[in-house]
């Protein structure tokens, strides 16, 4: 039976949920406080490494096919090394019989195409509208937004890491601050990136170079301890690039900054409950993780995929509880993996450096272990 959903938040996860629900025949209204997403010829600062399972969902939704090829950076290899030891590991897609390991997509480009598909599918979209109030009961939900009171059967909070809906509903959080900021920028490199996603671990945090469609452009994600991040913010572009060049081990030749720089606080958090009466948390509203393995949005797309499996047929609160349990396990596993990576690499202890150096070298040489690592990198 068709239900009425109100989705709050027009990021990638809210839009994918709204579109999928609408395609199943549900009535859907999406409320977004910002403008409808657009993009220009200029490369966007925020990108995501989209894993195979997310691409499969976006293909099923009919959106992946619409993305312009010149804004997609499929990556066929990954190289990860430790600046402080001899540890290095390199993966290639052909080692697991795949054409690529995933693709780098600018968030805005994906959001724009999801938005358009949602319009075409008949989702009622309300841009530039913030939620003022909401109410829940065991039988319905209501939301006050843009001077209207909307009623529905379910309320989906896809309103991001600060999730005003989660806060208003008083759903408790587990969190810790990584005491790091993620600096993002677009970099032109004199050497071609050859479709390789590179990441170096420094004692102050990992620095990633993600290949964009142009062979000489990469997207930088520099996760830096708060003090270093503060210093980086104060540098002018020339000094910033000198610092970046220094940590790059010359892996991409001469680097040039071709965008502004953006800074994002990095925090791990997950909500202890994702379901309250008829309110569901999804995407970053439910969980956020360190960007070092580029899995935050992928985890959110996993939530959407699992939710659509529930809403495809008649469902009730027990099915939603099952969805919540299943996705919480996936989120906690991902958080634990990120944490072990971060702790393993974030220490300056000489013994730890030796162990991780040996571990990476060994993993690089043992084909079955390496295949396992590649599969976990694929998400």
Ligand X SMILES: Cc1cc2nc3c(=O)[nH]c(=O)nc-3n(C[C@H](O)[C@H](O)[C@H](O)COP(=O)(O)OP(=O)(O)OC[C@H]3O[C@@H](n4cnc5c(N)ncnc54)[C@H](O)[C@@H]3O)c2cc1C
Site string for ligand X, 99-128 (x = CB under 6 A): --------x---------------------
Q: Which residue in the set 184, 196, 244, 304 belongs to the binding site for ligand X (CB under 6 A)?
A: 184
Contact call for residue 221 and ligand X (CB under 6 A): yes
**Phi and psi (nearest 5°) for 205?**
130, 165
Structure token pair of residue 93: 């897609």
Stretch that binds ligand X, among 154-162, 166-174, 197-205, 239-247 (CB under 6 A): 154-162
In this structure, are residues 28 and 124 in contact, taking their beta carbons and an 8 Å threshold?
Answer: yes
Alpha carbon distance 32, 145 (integer Å): 10
Residue 28, C-beta contacts closer than 8 angstroms, at least 6 positions apart: 4, 5, 6, 7, 18, 21, 22, 123, 124
Contact call for residue 10 and ligand X (CB under 6 A): yes
Closest of 209, 196, 184, 189 to residue 255, by C-alpha: 189
Q: Which residue in the set 6, 196, 297, 373 belongs to the binding site for ligand X (CB under 6 A)?
A: 297
Q: Which is closer to ligand X, CB of 10 or CB of 87?
A: 10
Binding residues with ligand X: total (CB under 6 A): 33
Stretch that binds ligand X, among 248-256, 297-305, 322-330, 337-345 (CB under 6 A): 297-305
Q: Which is closer to ligand X, CB of 182 or CB of 346?
A: 182
Contact call for residue 302 and ligand X (CB under 6 A): no
Q: Is the dihedral of CA 12, 121, 113, 35 positive or negative?
A: negative
Q: Which is closer to ligand X, CB of 218 or CB of 353?
A: 218
Site string for ligand X, 309-348 (x = CB under 6 A): ----------------------------------------
Structure token pair of residue 181: 């900021």
Site string for ligand X, 255-294 (x = CB under 6 A): ---------x------------------xx------x--x
Q: How far is CA 371 from CA 94, 113, 138, 260, in A?
A: 10, 33, 47, 37
Q: Which is closer to ligand X, CB of 134 or CB of 353?
A: 134
Instruction: List contacts with ligand X (CB under 6 A).
Output: 8-14, 31-34, 48-49, 107, 130-131, 158-160, 164, 182, 184, 221, 264, 283-284, 291, 294-298, 300
């Amino acid at each position: 039976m068709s239900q009425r959903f109100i989705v709050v938040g027009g990021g990638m996860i809210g839009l994918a949920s709204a579109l999928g629900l609408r395609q199943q025949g549900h009535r859907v209204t999406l409320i977004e406080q910002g403008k409808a997403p657009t993009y220009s010829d200029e490369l966007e600062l925020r990108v995501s490494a989209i894993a195979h399972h997310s691409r499969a969902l976006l293909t099923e939704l009919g959106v992946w096919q619409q993305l312009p090829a010149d804004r997609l950076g499929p990556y066929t290899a990954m190289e990860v090394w430790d600046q402080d030891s001899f540890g290095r590991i390199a993966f290639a897609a052909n080692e697991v019989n795949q054409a690529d390991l995933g693709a780098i997509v600018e968030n805005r480009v994906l959001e724009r195409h999801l938005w358009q598909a949602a319009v075409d599918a008949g989702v009622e979209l309300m841009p530039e509208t913030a939620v003022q109030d909401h109410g829940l009961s065991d039988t319905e939900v209501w939301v006050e937004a843009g001077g209207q009171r909307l009623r529905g059967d379910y309320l989906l909070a896809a309103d991001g890491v600060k999730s005003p809906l989660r806060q208003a509903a008083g759903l408790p959080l587990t969190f810790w601050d990584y005491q790091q900021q993620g600096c993002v920028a677009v970099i032109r490199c004199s050497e071609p990136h050859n479709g390789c996603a590179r990441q170096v671990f420094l004692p102050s945090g990992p620095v990633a170079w993600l290949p964009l469609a142009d062979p000489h452009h990469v997207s930088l994600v520099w996760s830096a301890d708060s003090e270093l991040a503060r210093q980086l913010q104060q540098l002018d572009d020339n000094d910033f690039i000198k610092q970046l060049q220094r940590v790059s081990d010359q892996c991409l030749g001469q680097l040039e900054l071709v965008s502004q720089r953006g800074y994002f606080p990095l925090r791990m958090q997950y909500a202890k409950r994702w379901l309250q009466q008829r309110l569901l948390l999804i995407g970053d509203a439910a969980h956020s993780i360190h960007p070092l393995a580029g899995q935050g949005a992928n985890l959110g797309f996993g939530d959407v995929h699992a939710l659509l499996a529930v809403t495809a047929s008649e469902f009730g609160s027990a099915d939603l509880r099952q969805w919540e349990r299943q996705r919480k396990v996936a989120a906690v596993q991902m958080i634990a993996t990120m944490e072990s990576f971060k702790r393993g690499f974030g220490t300056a202890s000489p013994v730890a450096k030796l162990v991780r150096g040996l571990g990476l070298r060994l993993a690089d040489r043992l084909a079955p272990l390496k295949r396992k690592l590649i599969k976990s990198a694929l998400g």
